[in-house]
Structure 1
């Protein structure tokens, strides 16, 4: 999977953490947040005045992560066209945003309905084919 990593940080699941990765050549930003209870991944468009968050997906509940005391590595990577981003935790893809298709995919499939009505209108269900967006 050829990606350009624009953010990398160690994470202890359940400790407040924010990791932001800017797209190399577009106004898009992907942000991972662990607020101590849940992990979420956000798609932002910084060219928009007002609400820049375009979509949000649930990654995990802290209480459900078995090895949460063990350090993990968060990476946010971008496709060569700067329109697709992937969230990697310990090298494993957990979520993808496709800014062109206005679609998000995550392994939890949550939330099942779109967060703002214009993105991910068919939900956030994981589809292995989304990894092909990076080839």
Structure 2
């Protein structure tokens, strides 16, 4: 089941960084980052201190 945990406006071409933790598993999080040219989506496992990024798109 999906839950809305974050809502924000994104404007194309403007840098932005937003993220949120899972409502079910505290160690899981996602982040969206836009550097003004390219958007990145990261799936994170915060238990992995050395490399928390487990997948990206």
TM over 0.5: yes
- Cα shift at 1:14: 1.1
Structure with the larger helix share: 1
SS at match of 1:7: coil
Runs of 4 or more, structure 1, over 4 Å off, are none
Unaligned runs of 5+ in 1: 58-135
Higher Cα Rg, which structure: 1
Q: Which runs of 5+ in 2 are unaligned?
A: none
Structure 2 equivalent of residue 32 of structure 1: 32
- Worse-superposed segment, 44-53 or 2-11: 2-11
Q: 1:12 matched to which residue of 2?
A: 11
1:40 Cα deviation after fit: 1.1
1:18 Cα deviation (Å)?
A: 0.7
In 1, Cα distance between equivalents of 2:51 and 2:28: 13
Q: What SS does the corresponding residue of 1:6 show, helix, strand or coil?
A: coil
In the TM superposition, 1:1-135 aligns within 5 A as: 3-26=2-25, 27-57=27-57
